[in-house]
Amino acid sequence: MAAAGGGEHWSSRFAFLMASVGFAVGLGNIWRFPYVTGENGGAAFVIIYLACAFGIGVPILMAELMVGRRGQGSPPNAMANVAVESGRTREWKWVGGMGLLAAYTIEIVYAGIVGWVLWYLFKAVTTGFAGVDAVAANAEFAGVLSDNLGMLFWTLVGLAITGFIIFAGVKDGIERAVSFMMPMMFVLLVGLAGYNYFAGGFDAALDYLFAPDFSKIGPEAVLAAIGQAFFSIGVAMGGMMTYGSYLPRSISITQSVFIIVIADTLVAVLAGLVIFPAVFNYGLDPAGGPGLIFQTMPAAFAQMPGGHIFSVLFFAMLAVAGITSMVGLIESVNSWVEGHFGISRHKSALIVVGSVAVLSVLSILSYNVLEGLSLGGKNINDTLDYFSNQILLPLGGLFIALFAGWGVKKVYSRDELTSLNAVGYAIWHFLIRFVVPLALAVIFILGVAG
C-alpha cells in the first residue's frame, strides 16, 4: 500500500506533532474554548472537559490516526484498505469521503475568515487601531463585510500561502512551515499572556476561566464539554487520517495523541489569558463570539499601553492558527485528488486551492450581495456551516468509531497501538466501541434538533 502523497512520510515526531496541533488549533477554538469555559463553571467545566477530551477525543483521534497509518492512503482509500484487510466491504470508503467533503465545505467559509485575520493583521501593522473606540471598531468591521474586493483579495492571499505550503510537499512544505510557525505561535501566546499579567485584567480573567462554580454544572455544561472535546481536536475532517498515513511505524500513536490533546487544550487556555484580560480590563463583552476578535479587541488595542505592538502580535498569532488549520483541511482533499486522478502533487494542489478560491466568492458575497439568498432560512455560509458541523462531522466521527471498534479486527488495531499495554488497549477498545459512539450520536441528534 502506498502512502497518500506519493509515499511521503514525516521525518520526525516533532514535525508530525506540530502539523497535527496546528491543524487542531483553529480560530474557533481560540475564542470559543475560553468563553464556553467561563460560561459553564470555570475550573469545574475544565475538569469535565478534560474527562471528555481523554474519554472521547483521545480514543477517536487514536482511531483516526490508526486507520490512516494502517490504510496508507487518502481517507477513502485508507478506510477501504483497512476494511478489506479485516474482511469488510470496501464501501467503508464513503466514511473517508464524508471527511473530505466536510473539510472542503469548511474550507470554503474558513478561507474567508482567515482572510479577515490577514486583513486585520495588515491594519494592525499600518495603524495599530489608533483612536478606535467600540463604535468605530463596529463600523470598521461592517466596512470589511461590505468590501467584496477587499475580502476577496485577503482570502486569496491566505489561500496562496496555504497553496504554496501544500504545493511544496510534506517535508519541504508542510513540515518546514509548521516547524517554524507552531513554535512561533506558542511563543506569541506565552508572550502576550505575560504582557497581560502586567497590563491589567489578568486576575479577572483567571477568575472567569478557573474559579470553580459547580452550580453551573448540569446537563448543558456536560454536553458543551462533549462537543468541545470532539470539535476542538479536528477529527472526522480527513486531516488527521491523512497525517496518519504519513506517520512512520516508529512513532507511537498513543503518546502522540496525548501530546496533541494536551497541547490543543493548553493553547486554548493560553488564548483565554490573552483575550480575556483585555476584555475585562476595558469593559468589553466576553460573550462576543467571533466578533470579539474583530469588533471588540481593536477597541482594547487602542486603549492599552503598547497596543500597536500587541495588536500586531495578536493577529500574527491568529494568522498562524488559521493558516495551519487550512493546510490540514486542504491537504486531506489534495491527497485524495492526487491519488484518485493519478496526477502530480503540484497539479492537484492547484486544482484544489483554485476550486476553493472560486467557491469562496459565494461565501464572501453571502455577507452582503447574496445575504437574502437562503435555504431553509439559512444563508449560504450558515447552510455550509450547518451541513459540515452538525451533519458531516458528528456522523463521520460516529462511523469512524464504529469502524475502529467493531469493523477492524482486534489483531490489526492492536498491531498499530503497540505502546498500549493489555489494560490500556482494553480501555481504548471499550471507549471506542460504546462511549464514543453514544456521545457522538447525542451531538448529532442535538445538532439536527437545533
Residue-wise pLDDT tens digits, 132-158: 988 999 999 999 999 999 999 999 999
Q: Which of the four pLDDT bands, split at 50, 70 and 90, describes residue 31?
A: confident
| Average of per-residue pLDDT values in the chain | 94
Q: Which of the four pLDDT bands, split at 50, 70 and 90, describes residue 5?
A: very low
Place of cell 495551519: 324
Average pLDDT on 343-352 reads 97
* C-alpha cell read off for 445: 441528534
Beta strands, E only, 355-425: 374-375, 378-379
Average pLDDT on 255-272 reads 95
Least confident of 2-6, 43-47, 318-322, 365-369: 2-6
What pLDDT score does 409 carry?
Answer: 97
Indicate the residue type of 367: Y
Pairwise CA distance, residues 447 & 450, whole Å? 5
What pLDDT score does 29 carry?
Answer: 86
What pLDDT score does 1 carry?
Answer: 37
Residue-wise pLDDT tens digits, 372-411: 888 778 899 999 999 999 999 999 999 999 999 999 999 9
Residue-wise pLDDT tens digits, 32-58: 898 899 889 999 999 999 999 999 999
Indicate the residue type of 450: G
Contact 322, 150 (CB under 8 A): no
Nearest to 233 by CA among 207, 209, 204, 264: 264
How many CB atoms within 10 Å of residue 121? 20
Residue-wise pLDDT tens digits, 215-237: 999 999 999 999 999 999 999 99
Top-level class of domain 13-449 = mainly alpha
Least confident of 22-26, 30-34, 251-255: 30-34
How many CB atoms within 10 Å of residue 398? 21
Average pLDDT on 285-290 reads 75
Does residue 79 or residue 372 have the better pLDDT? 79
Q: Where are the alpha helices (DSSP H) in 200-232?
A: 202-210, 219-231
What pLDDT score does 2 carry?
Answer: 41
Residue-wise pLDDT tens digits, 403-446: 999 999 999 999 999 999 999 999 999 999 999 999 999 999 99
Report helix, strand or coil for 379. strand
Place of cell 483553529: 26
Residues contacting residue 183 through CB under 8 Å, at least 6 positions apart? 18
Q: What are phi and psi of 234, to 5 degrees?
A: 80, 25
Average pLDDT on 240-252 reads 97
Q: At what angle do helices 307-340 and 93-126 cross, to 10 degrees?
A: 150
Report helix, strand or coil for 40. coil
Question: 380 to each of 100, 211, 383, how far by Cα in Å?
Answer: 19, 39, 5
Residues contacting residue 173 through CB under 8 Å, at least 6 positions apart? 164, 165, 166, 167
Residue-wise pLDDT tens digits, 308-320: 999 999 999 999 9
Pairwise CA distance, residues 228 & 410, whole Å? 29
Nearest to 310 by CA among 182, 118, 125, 181: 125
- Is residue 323 within a helix (H) or strand (E), and if so which, with residue range? helix 307-340
- Burial group, residue 200, by CB count within 10 angstroms (0-12, 13-18, 19+): middle
Report helix, strand or coil for 11. coil
Pairwise CA distance, residues 298 & 424, whole Å? 48
What pLDDT score does 291 carry?
Answer: 76
* Domain boundaries defined on the chain: 13-449
Q: Which of the four pLDDT bands, split at 50, 70 and 90, describes residue 69?
A: very high
Rounded to two decimals, the pTM is 0.95
- Tell me what percent of the residues of the chain surpass a pLDDT of 90: 83
Least confident of 12-16, 71-75, 379-383, 397-401: 379-383
Pairwise CA distance, residues 318 & 115, whole Å? 11
